[in-house]
Amino acid sequence: MGTAENRGFVVLASSGPGVLHQLTGVIAAHSGDIGSVEIIEEKAEGARVYFEIRLPEGESTALDAALRALPIVREVTAVETLQKIYGKRVIIVGGGAQVGQVAIGAISEADRHNIRGEHISVDTIPLVGEQALAAAVRAVARLPRARALVLAGSLMGGEIEKAVREVRAQGLLVVSLNMAGSVPEAADLVVTDPLQAGVMTVMAVADTAKFTIERLKRRVF
């Protein structure tokens, strides 16, 4: 087998039933393996659809032409993939003050690794309420490129703990601040200092860091 390349395409197409089916059919005909697809914008006059596709080397130009040939397609733009630009994602969820402190540590550490060629981005959302937090935790597993979740708060448990165990079972790394409630018992790693929690989370997902949680002799810091 030949080598493959990851390519990004933004397609402006007509709106209506079956549009995505036609686009993916052309991609499949060119041996494209779709890694991610998102409808960026949909209006009556048209929709913008973003694809990240793994293609056989040299197939990108042919696919571009084939997409443009579809009657429903108005424009095709080749772009850098979000994986290449934004890379791995660290998601921080919880109370505003704690989220902000974790973010400072995570962003500072991500900057250090990104200078060395990594691509790590940090997303935050301050939330309150057990159901809202549990829904947010479960949603992280559906976010593209999300590698780690940090739960930053003073008290979390109940349905949030169940959600943490669910996303961990799906392969997501979960770091918790040392807080009241049962969430710390369910997390991969518990860190008392919010700045350090952000730093350690980024170190855990960075390829340029010599740090793995599995090698730690304890899980609470």
Q: Per-residue confidence of the chain (221 residues) as pLDDT tens digits?
A: 468 889 999 999 998 888 899 999 999 999 999 999 998 877 777 889 999 999 998 888 999 999 999 999 999 999 999 888 899 999 999 988 999 999 999 999 999 999 998 999 999 999 999 999 999 999 999 998 999 999 999 999 999 999 999 999 999 999 999 999 999 999 999 999 999 999 999 999 998 877 777 777 677 78
pLDDT for the residue 2: 60
The domain made up of 4-83 has a fold known as Alpha-Beta Plaits (3.30.70)
Q: Within its chain, how far is the Cα of 154 from the centroid?
A: 25
130-140 vs 159-169: helix crossing angle, rounded to 10: 0
What pLDDT does residue 57 have? Answer: 85
**How large is the angle between the packed helices 194-205 and 96-115, nearest 10 degrees?**
40
| Torsion angle in degrees (nearest 10) through CA of 210, 217, 95, 113 | 0
Domain range summary for the chain, segments of one domain joined by +:
4-83, 86-215
Q: Which CATH class is domain 86-215?
A: alpha beta
